[in-house]
Structure 1
């Protein structure tokens, strides 16, 4: 499967990106170490993302793309240098896998170099072609990618687009290879395009280049390149065993599994293959890889987990032990290989006793006669000796093969030891390595035992309805606040204290959001998000139990504008988060305003304390609200969590849910019972419960609490 882009693909990409000249850079992101995203805001079109996957591909996309709350340093630098910059030029450098994007900014022109060869790189240059910052520092034979250095592209290759018929004729006349090889190598077309040109010219690919008619070949070459420049198209070529594409849902997964390559032009070797047409290469690549690339943030988090130390990250005990077992098995294989190598060398020294004894004797004589300096110089011309070490008084020599010639086995010999002593030293090293490996075998067996025990425990938990507890190094950002999910996936967050209230308004209340506050002193400031929320997770982790509602964080949910129904749901949660919950009442009042009406600026002589705000203007009131909360067991970004939402929404999610109201059961008691029934951590449950509770309705969420109530009822 073709994953990296060719120079031919990039030529099409460069032409297509020129349609976006004049677009403004809104922001820059790095959801993954390998991915740079520039969000463009065209004047007369919808915003789009330019997605750069280092060394692999470039595409444009309008998909929802969750981004990290704290951008990495390179993304911050791009924001500083390219903020509100205007794209004024896109060009492919020669016919290389390298694109140059030029922007105009207040500080002068900036160039973004996208290198799509090797490991790839993204390099930001100033107007004088000096490197401001590369994504990855690198040093090559003829150039260095480092801050402050002048940017030098790789040595230029021949650009077939700049070739005329006379130049092509000269190349063909001077070639001693066949036509396809000459076009592929010397004309820089590569094998597939070279064969396509031969086919278009009506010539056999294996004829001598010198007998080919240059004008005919040039006409075919121009036809291929001109068609690329004048037309705009993209095609996904499917694998031979690909079934029919799904008509509803699952298209991303289908394309990821069955697409073989993306191409701007159908070539002769594509005949008979099933292809899917697209308006351009940018759209084709997004259709193929867009789903994968849009999950970059989640993938980065999972990669951090896999690299974490045991007991850290989003990791179950089974996964942690499986990783440890794999590492120990690999280490044990290395131990065994070292033992076998040392033993084999010891036997080889004994087998070639005469040869080794002669090397030792001759080297000793040479050292006495010429000194070590003379020996070090002399061994360079001796095929049987690789090197000499005066400090250790050793030589690195080559043992003979079956024909008596220098073979592949090399061994270090000590001049102060006999052949027998050298062989015994190798056997001793092998024995010590074997003793060391015995400890590794014991550790391996211990890990296997722990893994079997963990698997049984996990299976028992799943059979009892408990979710596998996921160990993680840090919480999701919204867990630091009160949070809820509305039926359409919209998110609302509220402050837990004065500091949290300030953070909600300053960081999470934007232009199209709504501010909610219970009509009580000290109630949390709440921000209903217009864009951020939760989307259904189409690829939940395998360790989640079947039927558990799974979601992932999304920066742009498809929920439209905030509706009155959303506000009613949010108002009910804002009331339940306030101290009205423990007051003993059953109803309350909440108001909402737009973000512009919320201010920290007080009138002269007034003081606004921490967590408090001045609300000016007309308010929308929600009265006689019901003080009940629905609880549901869900998974967010693969982490099982307890969701607090409205009773109707909790019930609609299915699975395990409950409805609670204010009561006499302490939070700690309720949290312990939920933890025992579901397997969740008490620390993850307590922040969701607003205070003392009473269970109104339970569907396998408070199983332990329910059984206890039934027992009390039976006893009475």
Structure 2
């Protein structure tokens, strides 16, 4: 007989109660094997190490595994696993619940900064989605876009359409569901009541009814017997009255054990003819069954991470560069065409002036646009400029004229000079777009170099990360030699850091950089921050890279607060030795370089209009750390953001030591922490550390 490869809805009723016994376990790390097996390594005060496995591929299961049954740690963690580590490290496992009677489990984890829910879809193609506290999808293994529901990053998670839940049915509702069927008893129980084939047959056996009886021919007593059997079966399972069994294929040799073929939370009449082993818990039975399940025919064992398709990504970046270069050429041609139009107006000054005057006089005389057009079309040199006239744009109040080889749109209410100035201004605007495209090319080339570097590192480094029970991270502090890896990024000349969710936050170091940030790098869906105190940098939280289209992305509250804390710490609040300050956030369309009447804006200053989102009493918490992968470098920023991004950190606060002196103290402390002192000298010199410290005096926070 075929081996069971997927847990059933009935199985999940039993499993949910047992998994909730692990509530309070703390998450250490997340792993992803292949594209369908998730492992959460946790620790429990009473039980010690807890390994939760969730698989959603050809095999679909969820259970806590014996530590000896988990696969070795895979290769480099993919982005999905990194995201989970960032969100779940140190979080408490709070609860698990089954969605209705569906094969869907929701695992809820709680952490002081933000809660996270993992939804495991153990049906169909299978999927795992990670939700934020607002139940918006942070990421998912697969994107689902159906008319009935959507599972995609940035969208509210959508459950499948609700199915009948036999746990909630009264006898009347049960009988109504059965009577609506036009097939036999067992098929109706399996599909309309959602019991599945095995448990539908089990209910028929326990009720003592013939399973092939058409529903239309079944008397009321038959339906009553089936309802009683379902209530007893589900009631016992829900109450935890279990007798977990693993069943085996029968063999001719009594001393030889056959292959495992099924696992159930209770002993079944339908499996009475099969050899079986009993287990103390259903979770233990699931662990035994799926650990020993023969998956040799699977295409992917799930224990390694496939090599990323670097070549495809490199080709993609190269195509983007080609498109950007073509865009620059197009901008140059467009700007040159606008300048030629302007120059042609001056070259035919009398002709253009006569045409504009004639149209203006006709309008002042009360003639309509169509009448003016007809007059020019019929004129044979009697009307000034008639030979150049092409047509009118009535809605815009403009005319079109053919001057040299160009068709030019002209404003009759303005003279030749103002029309030419307008064309020169348009040429300048296009030139500015060309400058932006050049900057985008630089960023894309940096992305291309980064992909090539990741490819080289992947091919050069070992393919697996080693693990022990205590800590499976590379022990960078104790390594005698650490390779230097660093790719310069466009934003590093500004003040910058990345939030917990990876948003880039950049701030100006002076008035010139403040101007540049707003004019060149702030897009319409970014966020603008500034401290309430004077002397702070313009701070921009980027929701997209400069080379990407700007999208309307919701920024989590924690990340917005981190950006606001950055703006406060880099302002005069730190310089003045204060421990807290206020900041506000607005959208880019509220920021203007145009002052109100009677106001004056200095270089680097901007006017902010409209409502503001305030962040009050933000503490000046700051940390400087060193990261060793994927790049070796110093990082600095709000402590709660930097904490998970570095191998080691030193927390600082406003203090009496000048910035340079404090940087030297931090440098000496880093040298003591790393075995490879030469590495610290190369990547974290006092001068480099200073770049990642707030302006003003500091002191190290004693731990």
Alignment TM-score, normalising by the size of structure 2: 0.42
